[in-house]
């Protein structure tokens, strides 16, 4: 009876389509979950329903999310729906789950039990060391380029031996890749891309392990399926058999991470590969008013390669979408701040507002306007807790104590705080390690054995690490961190710094993070607590952000806004070349991805949506004269309320820009902002002039051919 009541309780909270998805019998399913349609509720209810009806045990479920936050939220919700212990369930991110698999089968994966995870900056440092050891010229081969080359190949499932260089430059990058692989293997470390690739290789090459997990996981649930890469989809397929089922939840209209390797085509492939009988569409939105949803629907409907759905709501039409055409980026920023101040006086908190932009560089002028008006604000997605220098320095001591072969950690702290070890000494140490094919720590031991211990230099550092290792023996992680911060010299160093108190506070917070970790994470082997904590800091990077709960105006890129919602949203810089970005016009599927990005931005708004653009904008030190974003033309007139006197032309959006100011310093025949036609390039708009009377050149932004600089004397152009 109680069981039935529990089931009725969580099923009763679902609408018809949500309930249909949750109660699907043994079959793979694709759930198209539109923005604000309750996909998290559906996912957790699906898990609860499967367990409640004894279709599968908790241990037979694998749930994959894209953030640790989403994984934790899922477990909390399941616990609230069912009286079960969720700690043994396989719920986590792709990276987190791969880490768990590799940890259990480290021998088969050819990894040490204590292997550690390199975050992005540590990986870059490791690559730099490799290149230096190979005498590779970093001016010709930047470490950032090498890092991208390595990760992009790993994301495609290609090892260095599988790369086919097409020129000498690529050949050298691949040599760096090969040496980097050897170094990581020797040091017992793995970067993020390696976790997934190594796990796929483990399942591919070891049928016993693969079959074992295929027999365990009968139901696999995947969140944000539209963001999966080709390699992640391959990983999922390796974990499924004919007797197991995938419940994929996603929204192809919100696939905006193509630059990270996300492949929206996985959704159509999934339909085919798993013979999906029907696609369940969650179209009822619980976030936004109808005018906002109709705006989003109208924009995204122009994308051709989509599965198709149409969002609706029962919460009423709401206000019309407001559009403001500013004279400049300063005018745009001032308008936004004036609107925020007015709505704030009417009772809205600052944290109910979000200002979105396509490019980070756009925030400068907006921030200036905010500061000028003494409004508290926060740039969402700023420097993350575990990425702060003082935190990475503190963790580096722990990493080196835990794993003496971690050369990245060694290099980070060998002379921090400074202890008289110069660049030349470090070079000699690296040469010794390379010649002996050992770690930097082993090379340091060799130097230490031949020298007297003083208050500085490499012998002093070796003895400091030995001392710290003795001091923290038997202590908890939190106690160890506290001891290291005090005795390494980090605390004293930062207290001398101008913002040192904040840095010391962050180090104190690291102690708190360790306490939280021990209280919330179940570790099979207590001896591996330290290793697990260090991996936790890598996997959790960015989840413990400061100032998250403060009443402050939110600024962020459109990419950063995905998954968030706000009462009032301002989407700025809606100009062709900025949104959509000019790069999208030359990339395959580029414009469709930009339109999906616009769709994401629009659907962040709950009650009020503002769209703004500037006729002229100074960006990267240059003033640009802009064409309104083509996305604005895709919105029906009946949904828009214009906030200024610039009216939309019945023939062409560009005509509204025909009154742009012109300079009288040069006798221009055609004013800036005027439409023209060219016999070869077609229709364009005058955006500037260069030169004097004798060598006057006209700059035109053409619809189909981009910006051209033409000699005025010879340019065959006609005003329209």
pLDDT digits (tens, 9 = 90+) for 140-178: 888 888 999 999 999 999 999 999 998 999 999 999 999
Residues near 245 by beta carbon (within 8 Å), at least 6 away in sequence: 26, 27, 28, 29, 218, 219, 220
Q: Which residue has the tokens 């001032």?
A: 334
* pLDDT recorded at residue 478: 85
- Mean pLDDT calculated for residue range 97-112: 95
CA atoms within 13 A on the CB side of 378: 19
Cα angle 37, 43, 47 (rounded to 5 degrees) comes to 155
Residue 353 is classified by DSSP as E
* pLDDT recorded at residue 655: 43
SS (HEC) of 22-53: HCCCCCCEEEEECCCCCHHHHHHHHHHHHHHC
Please, which residues bridge with residue 323 across strands? 611, 642
Q: Which of 400, 539, 351, 434 is nearest to 182 (CA)?
A: 434
* pLDDT recorded at residue 469: 93
Tell me which residues are annotated as active site: 39-40, 223-224, 254, 604
Burial grade of 430 (CB within 10 A; 0-12, 13-18, 19 or more): middle
pLDDT digits (tens, 9 = 90+) for 636-664: 999 999 987 454 443 344 444 444 433 33
Residue pair 529/351 in contact by the 8 Å Cβ criterion: no
Q: Is pLDDT at 507 greater than 80 in this prediction?
A: yes
Q: Is pLDDT at 499 greater than 70 in this prediction?
A: no
Taking the C-alpha atoms of residue 231 and residue 155, their distance in angstroms, rounded to an integer, is: 6
DSSP string, 605-672: EEEEEEEEEESEEEETTEEEE-PBPHHHHTS-GGGEEE-SS-PPPSS-GGGGGTT----SSS--SS-T
pLDDT digits (tens, 9 = 90+) for 463-498: 999 999 999 988 888 889 989 999 999 998 888 765
Residue pair 88/62 in contact by the 8 Å Cβ criterion: no
Q: Is pLDDT at 582 greater than 70 in this prediction?
A: yes
Q: Which of 218, 250, 240, 239 is nearest to 43 (CA)?
A: 250
Please, what sign has the CA dihedral across residues 153, 256, 366, 333?
A: positive
Measured CA to CA in angstroms, residue 79 lies from 90, 328, 461, 518 at distances of 14, 52, 48, 20
Q: Is pLDDT at 456 greater than 60 in this prediction?
A: yes
Helix/strand number for the chain, H first, E second? 27, 22
pLDDT digits (tens, 9 = 90+) for 50-76: 998 889 888 899 999 988 888 888 888
- Give the whole-number percent of the chain exceeding pLDDT 90: 51
Q: Which residue has the tokens 């390796």?
A: 238
- Mean pLDDT calculated for residue range 588-615: 93
Residue pair 495/417 in contact by the 8 Å Cβ criterion: no
Q: Which of 606, 597, 617, 609 is nearest to 570 (CA)?
A: 609
Residue 474 is classified by DSSP as T
Phi, psi of 80 (to 5 degrees): -75, -25
Taking the C-alpha atoms of residue 299 and residue 65, their distance in angstroms, rounded to an integer, is: 28
Radius of gyration of the chain (CA): 29
Taking the C-alpha atoms of residue 179 and residue 160, their distance in angstroms, rounded to an integer, is: 9
* pLDDT recorded at residue 8: 58
* pLDDT recorded at residue 528: 66
* pLDDT recorded at residue 414: 94
pLDDT digits (tens, 9 = 90+) for 373-401: 889 888 887 545 677 788 899 999 999 99
3-class secondary-structure state, position 380: coil
Which pLDDT band, with edges at 50, 70 and 90, does 667 fall under? Answer: very low
Residue 229 is classified by DSSP as B
What is the pairing mode between strands 553-557 and 697-702?
unpaired
């Amino acid at each position: 009876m109680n069981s039935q009541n529990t089931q009725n309780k969580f099923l009763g909270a679902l609408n018809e389509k949500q309930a249909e998805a949750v109660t699907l019998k043994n079959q793979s399913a694709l759930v198209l979950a539109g923005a604000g349609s309750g996909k998290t509720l559906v996912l957790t209810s699906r898990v609860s329903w499967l367990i409640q009806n004894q279709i599968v045990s908790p241990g037979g479920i694998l749930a994959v999310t894209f953030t640790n936050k989403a994984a934790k939220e899922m477990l909390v919700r399941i616990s609230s729906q069912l009286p079960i212990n969720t700690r043994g369930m396989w719920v986590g991110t792709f990276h987190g789950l791969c880490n768990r698999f590799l940890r259990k089968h480290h021998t088969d994966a050819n990894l040490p039990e204590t292997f550690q995870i390199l975050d992005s900056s540590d990986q870059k440092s490791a690559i730099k060391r490799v290149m230096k050891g190979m005498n590779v010229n970093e001016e010709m081969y930047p470490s950032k380029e090498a890092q991208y080359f390595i990760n992009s190949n790993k994301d495609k499932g290609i090892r260095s031996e599988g790369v086919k260089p097409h020129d000498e430059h690529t050949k050298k990058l691949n040599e760096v890749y090969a040496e980097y692989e050897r170094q990581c293997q020797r040091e017992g470390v793995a970067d993020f891309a390696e976790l997934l690739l190594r796990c796929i290789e483990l399942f591919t090459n070891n049928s016993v392990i693969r079959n074992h997990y295929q027999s365990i996981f009968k139901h696999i649930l995947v969140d944000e399926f539209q963001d999966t890469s080709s390699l992640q989809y391959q990983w999922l397929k390796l974990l499924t058999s004919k007797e197991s089922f995938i419940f994929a939840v996603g929204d192809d209209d919100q696939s905006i991470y193509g630059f990270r390797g996300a492949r929206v085509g996985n959704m159509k492939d999934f339909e085919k590969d798993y013979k999906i009988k029907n696609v369940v569409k969650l179209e009822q939105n619980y976030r936004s008013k109808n005018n906002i949803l109709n705006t989003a629907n109208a924009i995204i409907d122009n994308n051709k390669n989509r599965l198709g759905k149409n969002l609706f709501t029962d919460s009423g039409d709401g206000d019309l979408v407001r559009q403001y055409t500013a004279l400049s980026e300063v005018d745009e920023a001032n308008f936004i701040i004036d609107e925020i101040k007015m709505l704030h006086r009417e009772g809205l908190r600052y944290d109910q507002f979000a200002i979105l932009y396509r490019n980070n560089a756009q925030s400068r002028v907006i921030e200036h306007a905010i500061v000028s008006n003494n409004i508290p604000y926060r740039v969402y997605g700023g420097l993350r807790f575990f990425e702060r220098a003082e935190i990475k320095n503190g963790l580096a001591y722990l990493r080196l104590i835990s794993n003496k072969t971690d050369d990245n950690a060694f290099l980070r702290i060998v002379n921090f705080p400074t202890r008289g070890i110069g660049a030349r000494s470090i070079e000699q140490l690296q040469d010794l390690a390379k010649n002996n094919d050992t770690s930097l720590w082993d090379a340091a031991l060799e130097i230490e054995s031949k020298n007297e211990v003083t208050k500085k230099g490499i012998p002093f550092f070796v003895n400091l690490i030995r001392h710290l290792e003795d001091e923290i023996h038997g202590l908890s992680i939190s106690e160890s961190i506290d001891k290291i911060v005090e005795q390494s010299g980090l605390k004293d160093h930062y207290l001398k710094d101008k913002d040192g108190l904040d840095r010391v506070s962050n180090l104190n917070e690291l102690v708190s993070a360790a306490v939280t970790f021990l209280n919330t994470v179940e570790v099979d082997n207590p001896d591996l607590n330290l290793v697990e904590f260090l991996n936790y800091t890598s996997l959790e990077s960015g989840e413990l952000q400061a100032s998250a709960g403060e009443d402050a105006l939110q600024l962020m890129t459109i990419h950063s806004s995905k998954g968030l919602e706000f009462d009032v949203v301002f989407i700025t810089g809606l100009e062709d070349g900025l949104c959509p970005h000019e790069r999208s016009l030359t990339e395959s599927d580029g414009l469709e991805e930009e339109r999906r990005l616009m769709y994401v931005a629009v659907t962040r708004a709950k009650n009020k949506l503002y769209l703004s653009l500037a006729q002229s904008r100074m960006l990267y030190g240059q003033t640009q004269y802009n064409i309104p974003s083509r996305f604005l033309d895709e919105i029906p007139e009946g949904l828009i309320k214009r906030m200024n006197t610039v009216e939309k032309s019945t023939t062409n959006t560009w005509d509204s820009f025909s009154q742009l100011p012109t300079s009288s310093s040069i006798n221009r025949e055609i004013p800036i902002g005027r439409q023209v036609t060219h016999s070869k390039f077609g229709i364009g708009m005058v955006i500037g002039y260069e030169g004097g009377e004798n060598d006057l050149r006209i700059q035109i932004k053409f619809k189909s051919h981009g910006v051209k600089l033409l000699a005025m004397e010879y340019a065959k152009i006609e005003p329209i």
